[in-house]
Amino acid sequence: MLRIRNLEAGYGRLRVLKNISMHVNPGEIVTIIGANGAGKTTLLSTIAGLIRATSGEISFQNQEITRLAASRIPRQGCVMVPEGRQVFASMTVEENLLLGGHSLGRAGRKELPALLDHQYGLFPILRDRRSQLAGTLSGGEQQMLAMARALMSRPSLVMMDEPSTGLAPLIVRDIFQVIVRLRQEGNTVLLVEQNAKAALAIADRGYVLETGKVILQGSAEDLLANKDVQRAYLGREKIQ
């Protein structure tokens, strides 16, 4: 579904991504782990068109999107749930969700009621809060809203940037259960996550980024068993 070849990108003269190649198959959960500053957010932002690649190629469903405008990429079926939620605080929950369906265009307006019902089924608390201003929600509720807003465009690939940041453990568990359910419903997920243990527990495969380079890749099971991954990201107590 997604193929990246020799991708490089950064900010001005600062090169952050260095010759990255990776892929995501339909129906997979693929996680990207790494320390702060490894380039994880830059990678998702480049795929989403928010940062321009300086070289390399990004293909989504066999169409090159490397230089597509960020506004066009969701229409191709690739959406991003940004780090820090970034909900529209002065708008209601339902208004945020309807904005998420904007990329469907006029032809998709008739689908909006069914899409709203589906998101409320995934996140029942949002139905209860539908008329509440998004800025008054808790952090966990805002994360659910950010995810539901992305899903309103009927994406094929959902990219999530650090969905567990700042959330209580019980909320994190609920968020990861929803990610698993998305895959069960036919979605494909590319997950950037600091909580490596939780991410690898639900992923099919993973990539480890370090200073803008892919230094390890493999099945989630293999990465969980890798002593270098355990030492760097899972804690020394995991090494046997």
Q: Is the pLDDT of residue 51 over 90?
A: yes
- Express each pLDDT in 112-155 by its tens digit: 999 999 999 999 999 999 999 999 999 999 999 999 999 999 99
- Amino acid found at 235: G
The mean of the pLDDT values for the chain is 93
CA quadruple 217, 219, 222, 226: dihedral sign:
positive
**Edge to edge, what strands does the sheet with 63-64 contain?**
14-24, 2-11, 53-60, 63-64
What is the CATH number that goes with domain 2-77+155-238?
A: 3.40.50.300
- Give the whole-angstrom CA distance, residue 172 versus residue 211: 27
DSSP category for residue 9? E
CB-based contact 155:79 (threshold 8 Å): yes
CATH 3.40.50.300 intervals, the chain: 2-77+155-238
Q: pTM for the full model?
A: 0.91
239 pLDDT band (50/70/90 cuts)?
very low
Q: For residue 206, which of 194, 223, 225 has the smallest C-alpha distance?
A: 223
CB-based contact 152:146 (threshold 8 Å): no
Mean pLDDT for the stretch of residues 154-179: 93
- Give the whole-angstrom CA distance, residue 114 versus residue 104: 13
User: Cβ atoms within 10 A of the Cβ of 126, count?
Assistant: 25
What long-range pairs does 35-40 form, CB within 8 A, spacing at least 24?
A: 35/210, 35/232, 35/233, 36/194, 37/211, 38/209, 38/210, 38/211, 38/212, 39/209, 39/211, 39/212, 40/161, 40/192, 40/209
DSSP category for residue 135? G
User: Cβ atoms within 10 A of the Cβ of 104, count?
Assistant: 18
CA quadruple 230, 232, 237, 239: dihedral sign:
positive
Q: What share of the chain is helix, strand, coil (3-state, %, to 5)?
A: 40, 25, 30
- Residue 106, pLDDT score: 76
Tokens of 182: 């998305």
- Residue 104, pLDDT score: 85
**E strand map for 38-130:** 53-60, 63-64, 78-81
Q: pLDDT > 70: what percent of the chain? A: 98
